[in-house]
Amino acid sequence: MYYTGTSGLVLPYPNKSHYPKEFQDKSRITFYGSLFSSIEVNSSFYRIPQAATVRKWSESVPATFKFTFKLWREITHSAQATFNPDAILHFMTAIEATETTKKGSILIQFPPSFKIQQHKKLVDILETINGINSSWKLAVEFRDSSWYQPSIYELLYAYHASLVVHDKTGTLKPLIDQPVNFAYVRFHGPGGNYRGSYTDDVLSEYAQYIAEWLNDGKEIYSYFNNTMGEAIKNLQTLKGFVDNQKT
């Protein structure tokens, strides 16, 4: 129920020569899957992966592992008010190569320039994905504070989507009770710049929230994006706190 990892494939060793012996002839994702329970695939934001590649990734990790794919930027970050539904179909077809039990979330992240006045595009994206998807959870991350209001929350819940809890500077997402069956948390670094390390006090506080959500029966997806800082150390610390909090 608690799936955690890094944004992108990050390992605690500089190269394969430092891997444990049993993983030195294995792929990076195989080794990663032995350490963490999930990954937020950021490369899919820049380019839609090949289905064969996704299938290989899926076959390389344990049965309990979950994948999250970040939606292609040509869909979310285009300045146009509309998008080509075929682009979503292409994206979804590629990630459907993931084994069913390993399907986690689709992260739909919008840029700061995306304002609430453009809500029709949000509806169209959610509607299109829902028309195709039957297995993936949907998580929406806004970077503009105009979106944080009850009407938008209700819209997301109507599509069984969760509002991402994140700490990107200037757009802190309010911690609200969400009537969906999962929560999604992203850590961008204490300064919001993908660097640095969180204090134990901050991680302990988040551990309390996560433990409460777990006790409520929610699945949790938690990723550290401070990969130019102490993402792995912070991930391990938070997981330890959560393990101690669970009842």
Is pLDDT of 172 > 70?
A: no
The sign of the torsion formed by the CA atoms of 85, 86, 91, 93 equals positive
Whether the predicted pLDDT of 133 surpasses 90: no
pLDDT in tens, 175-192: 777 889 999 999 999 988
Per residue in 82-125, pLDDT (tens digit) is 778 899 999 999 999 999 999 999 999 999 999 999 999 999 99
Determine the pLDDT at residue 176. Answer: 76
Q: How far apart are the C-alpha atoms of 214 and 2, rounded to whole Å?
A: 8
Q: What is the pLDDT of residues 47-64, one digit of tens each?
A: 999 999 999 999 999 999
**What are the residue boundaries of the structural domains of the chain, listed by start?**
2-245
Q: Where are the beta strands (DSSP E) in 48-204?
A: 66-70, 103-109, 137-141, 161-163, 165-166, 182-187
Using CA atoms, how far apart are residues 172 and 167, in angstroms rounded to an integer?
5
Exposure string for 57-72, b = 16+ CB within 10 A, e = fewer: bbebbeeebbbbbbbb
Most confident segment among 14-23, 36-45, 75-84, 131-140: 36-45
User: Residue 174 pLDDT > 70, yes or no?
Assistant: no
Q: Select the more confidently predicted residue: 135 or 5.
A: 5
What pLDDT shows up at residue 245? Answer: 81
Tell whether the model's pLDDT for residue 220 goes beyond 60.
Answer: yes
Residue 81's pLDDT is: 67
What's the CATH number for 2-245?
A: 3.20.20.410
Mean of the pLDDT values across residues 52-77? 97
For residue 64, give the nearest of 33, 95, 43 by alpha carbon. 33
Residue-level pLDDT at 237: 97
Pick the closest to residue 148 from 172, 125, 126 (CA basis): 172
Q: How far apart are CA 63 and CA 196, in angstroms?
A: 32
Please return the burial class of 16, using the count of CB atoms within 10 Å of its CB with bins 0-12, 13-18 and 19+.
middle
Counting Cα atoms < 13 Å in the Cβ hemisphere of 58 gives 21
**How far is residue 199's CA from residue 197's CA, in Å, rounded to a whole number?**
7
Query: DSSP per residue over 75-93, as a string?
Result: HHS-SSS---HHHHHHHHH
Residue 25 or residue 67, greater confidence: 67
pLDDT tens, 136-164?
A: 999 999 999 999 999 999 999 999 999 99
**pTM for this entry:** 0.94
Taking Cα atoms as reference points, which of 32, 9, 62 lies closest to residue 224? 9
Least Cα distance to 47 among 80, 81, 78, 70 occurs for 70
